[in-house]
Structure 1
Amino acid sequence: MLSLKVAASWPLTSRLVCAGLLGALLAAAVYLGWLAGLSATLQAAQDEEARLRVAYRMSQMKADRLPVLREQQRQAAITLASLERQLPRQQEMAALLSSINQAGLDRGLHFALFKPGPAKPATLQAHYVALPIAVQVRGGYHAIGAFAADLARLPRIVTVHELALVAGNDGVLTLDAMLHAYRLPDATELAAQAKLPPVTMSPLPRLVAPLIAQAYDAADLPDPFGAAVQAVAATQSAVAAPDLQRPREVLESLALSEMLMVGSVQYEGRLSALIQAGGRVHVVATGQHLGQDHGLVMEISEQGLRYREVLQEANGAWRERRGGIDVQAGKAAKPLMAEAQP
């Protein structure tokens, strides 16, 4: 029997056979190691192929949506241009404030407060400057509703915030609100905006249809404030309460003491008075309302006009007061007779 201790004395044939077997074992080990590395490389290539196939399908889907995305981009550009046209420049803000004030006067509202505040500068998220305006207006329910609708229909963007609506003893509502008028930033504000640190933007909201301002069409609905006031007045006074649901006329936003009769004119086949108030001359006919206490024009002559007012006392009772505005020497309105409360 052959022993490894005396391998050097083995026959040549035995030594050659052992060397061949040892070489075959080493070759097999090398082959198995190479085959394992080749298998790992193949697996990595297969994984990369799968990843590339997924990326290809995703890119193909995006390419298929490209016309839709381009159309959305075009619509977004149109919407942005339309919104920017509604933003005035700083030198145009005076005209916008005047338009807001005139919208309220045209509805017969009286502005007790109209106070613009400091502008809120543009940010990286808001590319506009907001000007807050504290307002307090007095008038009828439907007149205030129509005023809000008129603000929405202005050619510039004006929003209403922090509304508070309170009914007075005379049935006239008081609206406290904060309006926001928006404008484009000027060069200095744009430079300050560019220096702001970058921020993380939230995902864009989904596109919605543009808002379309609607005309006020609720004038025929009941006034939720006026109904209660009229019910209280009817039980406490023999003088009929005025129609608190009636839209206020232009001259009802001004006090009678601020009005002057500067003449008269034949207008539409009847004599009408020329009343100067608020820096303008108004043509006033019999049956129109003026003043802040439901004044009604009863009679007009070349010498002056006569009116009747309906006032509400602190206890809710209504009383009547008559007065007039004489044309001689431009005298202002003055009470002629105050009827006692029944």
Structure 2
Amino acid sequence: MSSLKQMALWPRYLRLACAALLAVLLLALAWLAQLGELVARWQAAQAQTQALRDAHGQAQARANQLPRLRAHHSEVAATLASLEQQLPRQQEMAALLSAINQAGLARGLRFELFKPGVPAPQAHYVAMPIAVRVRGGYHAIGAFMADLAYLPRIVTVHDLAISSGKEGQPTLDAVLRAYRLPDAQEQQAMDNSKPAKGAARAAKASTPPPRPLVPFVPRDYSASDLPDPFGAAGSERPASAGVAAPDPRRVREPLESVALAGMAMVGSLRQHGRLDALLQANGRLYRIAAGQYLGPDHGLVTAISEQAIAYREVAQDAGGAWRERRGSLALQVAGAAVKEADK
């Protein structure tokens, strides 16, 4: 206490110096008390700075890829436009179904079932299932499947199953899917069923990026030289069993789906020294030249005169051997097919 009383007697400058020293000590203690909070704020600021730098780097990388992304977007848009051109409209579906049927008939197949189902609208198109059952040669079925890939419209094959059918010939059961553009009512229903913009944006953010588009290249059926797993292919018969079997890879002509009894020679036409026959079938008029095919049994036109069409057929007998037979269609006599005895 005496020392404190004596401090009051100190000179003025000494008392001010002590007060200043005490204030500095108090400030130092207060700063030390807040030092931990300041360090935490500094570390958080450093982390935020690093995150901003990383985000800037990623944005810069995306900006550098912008020309490539624009080019890819243009390529995808062109591919999508090309694919949409392969989708027919509803009024063009009848022609597509006819093309599928003709592709099977051209390979010598017989349709036991061809039943279009209920169209199923998808996101940007409408899929029409078609239940089919065809019967014919194993390699002819394979060639028919390959021919579907060459159609100008998109047709896919699903639920394919092959079994041994009647007369030992394979039977194919499958579901074909033909695709078309939606009509106005279907498009309106699709638009009404779309989610709200916020939900669509969230769904898009959670959806993984699409895979790159790979161009589809159709391929020919190249397994016709392999043995028929059903063991009933006439092309595997030895030559000694009869004449040579017809080529299963040959593209069948339109008149090969018409029976000879439904044809009639109604005239002939000579042009540039060549004589062609005028043949009426299915209410239509066809111009036939030597070397063309007609009838379901690989009937090859061998000669044409003003009075008749001569042809040569190749068909299997009861024993499975290929036999040749000849016949003719006389002028204006529908279905007058006079066949010679088998060789």
Tell me which interval the TM-score lies in, with the shorter structure as reference length: 0.7 to 0.9
State which of 309, 326, 330 in structure 2 corresponds to 1:305: 309
CA distance 1:29–1:333, change in 2 (3 Å): farther
**Distance in 2 of aligned mates of 1:204 and 1:300:** 64
User: Does structure 1 residue 257 correspond to structure 2 residue 261?
Assistant: yes
CA distance 1:136–1:283, change in 2 (3 Å): farther
**Contact 2:135–2:165 at 8 Å: present in 1 too?**
no
State which of 269, 277, 281 in structure 2 corresponds to 1:277: 281
User: Does structure 1 residue 11 correspond to structure 2 residue 16?
Assistant: no
**Distance in 1 of aligned mates of 2:221 and 2:323:** 32
**CA offsets per residue over residues 246-267 of structure 1, 9 Å max, x none?**
6133322222222222233335
Displacement, 1:37?
2.3
**Distance in 1 of aligned mates of 2:228 and 2:271:** 37
**Contact 1:108–1:251 at 8 Å: present in 2 too?**
no
Q: TM-score, normalised by structure 1?
A: 0.72
CA distance 1:42–1:238, change in 2 (3 Å): closer
Displacement, 1:129?
0.7
CA distance 1:11–1:268, change in 2 (3 Å): same
Structural RMSD (CA): 4.2
Partner amino acid for 1:203?
Answer: P
**Distance in 2 of aligned mates of 1:212 and 1:51:** 47
Partner amino acid for 1:67?
Answer: P
- Counterpart of 1:222 in 2: which secondary structure? coil
**Distance in 2 of aligned mates of 1:27 and 1:316:** 113
**Distance in 1 of aligned mates of 2:109 and 2:270:** 29
Q: Which residue of structure 2 aligns with residue 85 of structure 1?
A: 85
Partner amino acid for 2:208?
Answer: P
Q: Which residue of structure 2 aligns with residue 210 of structure 1?
A: 215
CA distance 1:40–1:239, change in 2 (3 Å): closer
**CA offsets per residue over residues 131-167 of structure 1, 9 Å max, x none?**
2233455677777666555543444323334445678
Gaps of 5+ in 2: 9-17
User: Does structure 1 residue 183 correspond to structure 2 residue 188?
Assistant: no
Which runs of structure 2 are paired with 1:196-207 in the superposition (5 Å)? Answer: 196=193, 198=195, 200=203, 202-207=207-212
Q: Which moved more, 1:49-58 or 1:284-293?
A: 284-293
**Distance in 1 of aligned mates of 2:315 and 2:141:** 21
Gaps of 5+ in 1: 1-9
Higher relative contact order (CA 8 A, sep 6+): 1
Q: Which residue of structure 2 aligns with residue 68 of structure 1?
A: 68
**Contact 1:275–1:281 at 8 Å: present in 2 too?**
yes
- Counterpart of 1:203 in 2: which secondary structure? coil
- Counterpart of 2:65 in 1: which secondary structure? helix
**Contact 1:169–1:314 at 8 Å: present in 2 too?**
no
**CA offsets per residue over residues 84-118 of structure 1, 9 Å max, x none?**
2222222232333344445556x454552443222
**Contact 2:278–2:286 at 8 Å: present in 1 too?**
yes
CA distance 1:167–1:176, change in 2 (3 Å): same
**Distance in 1 of aligned mates of 2:170 and 2:260:** 19
Q: Which residue of structure 2 aligns with residue 131 of structure 1?
A: 128
Displacement, 1:283?
2.9
Displacement, 1:26?
6.2
Displacement, 1:33?
0.9
CA distance 1:22–1:90, change in 2 (3 Å): same
**Contact 1:135–1:179 at 8 Å: present in 2 too?**
yes
**Distance in 2 of aligned mates of 1:263 and 1:15:** 149
- Counterpart of 1:195 in 2: which secondary structure? helix
What is the percentage of aligned positions where both structures have the same residue?
Answer: 52
**Distance in 1 of aligned mates of 2:245 and 2:263:** 22
Q: Which residue of structure 1 aligns with residue 11 of structure 2?
A: none
Q: Which residue of structure 2 aligns with residue 7 of structure 1?
A: none
Partner amino acid for 1:240?
Answer: V
Partner amino acid for 2:268?
Answer: S
CA distance 1:246–1:143, change in 2 (3 Å): same
Q: Which moved more, 1:27-36 or 1:185-194?
A: 27-36
**Distance in 1 of aligned mates of 2:154 and 2:279:** 34
